[in-house]
């Protein structure tokens, strides 16, 4: 329901609108209160009258004509300014191309790093990517890395698991290999042991600095980690096994 003052307000608004139109058209408004706005209107209007770069609209005009002629003759137009995609599309294409390049680049780096072994320049990257779940090869990858460090073709679960512990580095590595192979994936124990193995492997990644006593010390630390994890491990009742299907199995599949 409109109030009684509504027509008067409408009339007042109409008068203001008419005066604003006059002001914007560069004429004198009837309402003197609006006169001070003239400077604002003049200044804002001056944006439309600023000098343009030499040849700016002319080049585009020539292109517009060329495009019109090309459309009539059904031939491609030769443009003097760079050919443009629609501005929204251009932004999207640029963004998509950038994203694609980043994805391809990162995938390539991750793929290259995934096959890295201790001593390779990108071994650290491999470990970092695995820590966030990218290319996490788990026990198999650790075994392959250990094999390379030892200079052997493969480290099977059978022969790595049967070695006794020792103070020398080779047995330390075998011990690590055996433990990695037998550790259920995804458990806290696997995490603890994985860290210990990583420390060992990272040290071994620099052959110039490797010496027997240090490797032995690291192997001890690894063993301690292994022991503490085992002490925290929940008891597994007979007949129950929380290992994944492939953990701890005899190396039948590996030896095929």
Binding site residues, another protein, CB under 8 A: 13, 16-17, 20-21, 24, 33-34, 36-37, 39-41, 43-50, 52-54, 56-58, 60-72, 81, 84, 86-88, 91
**Which CB, 27 or 220, lies closer to another protein?**
27
Work out how close the CB of 138 gets to another protein at its nearest, in angstroms, rounded to a whole number. Answer: 42
Work out how close the CB of 41 gets to another protein at its nearest, in angstroms, rounded to a whole number. Answer: 6
Tell me the two tokens of residue 29: 């408004």
Query: Is 148 within 8 Å of 117 (Cβ atoms)?
Result: yes
**Which CB, 49 or 132, lies closer to another protein?**
49
Work out how close the CB of 105 gets to another protein at its nearest, in angstroms, rounded to a whole number. Answer: 23
**Which CB, 58 or 167, lies closer to another protein?**
58
The rounded Cα 164 to chain-centroid distance in angstroms is 43
Work out how close the CB of 49 gets to another protein at its nearest, in angstroms, rounded to a whole number. Answer: 6
**Which CB, 55 or 212, lies closer to another protein?**
55
Nearest C-alpha neighbor of 77 from the set 52, 57, 60: 60
Helices (H), ranges, the chain: 6-24, 37-45, 56-73, 87-114, 123-131, 138-150, 157-161, 169-182, 188-204, 212-232, 252-255
Tell me the two tokens of residue 241: 């096994």
**Which CB, 89 or 210, lies closer to another protein?**
89
The rounded distance, in Å, linking the Cα atoms of 50 and 229 is: 76
Work out how close the CB of 20 gets to another protein at its nearest, in angstroms, rounded to a whole number. Answer: 6
* Residues written for the chain: 256
């Amino acid at each position: 329901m409109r109030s009684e003052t509504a027509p008067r307000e409408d009339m007042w608004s109409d008068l203001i609108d008419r005066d604003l139109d006059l002001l914007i058209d560069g004429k004198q408004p009837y309402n003197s209160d609006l006169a001070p706005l003239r400077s604002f209107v003049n200044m804002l209007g001056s944006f439309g009258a600023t000098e343009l770069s030499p040849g700016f609209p002319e080049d585009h005009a020539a292109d517009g004509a060329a495009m019109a002629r090309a459309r009539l003759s059904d031939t491609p137009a030769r443009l003097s300014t760079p050919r443009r995609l629609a501005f929204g599309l251009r932004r999207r294409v640029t963004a998509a191309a950038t994203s694609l390049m980043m994805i391809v680049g990162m995938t390539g780096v991750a793929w290259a790093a995934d096959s890295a072994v201790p001593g390779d320049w990108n071994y650290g990257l491999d470990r970092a990517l695995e820590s966030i779940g990218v290319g996490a090869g788990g026990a198999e990858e650790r075994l392959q890395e250990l094999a390379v460090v030892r200079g052997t073709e493969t480290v099977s679960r059978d022969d790595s698991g049967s070695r006794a512990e020792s103070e020398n580095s080779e047995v330390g590595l075998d011990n690590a290999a055996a433990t990695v192979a037998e550790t259920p994936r995804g458990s806290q124990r696997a995490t603890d042991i994985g860290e210990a193995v990583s420390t060992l492997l990272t040290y071994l990644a620099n052959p110039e600095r490797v010496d027997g006593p240090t490797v032995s010390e690291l192997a001890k630390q690894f063993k301690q980690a292994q022991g503490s994890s085992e002490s925290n491990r929940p008891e597994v009742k007979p007949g129950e096994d929380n290992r994944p299907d492939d953990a701890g199995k005899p190396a039948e599949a590996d030896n095929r």
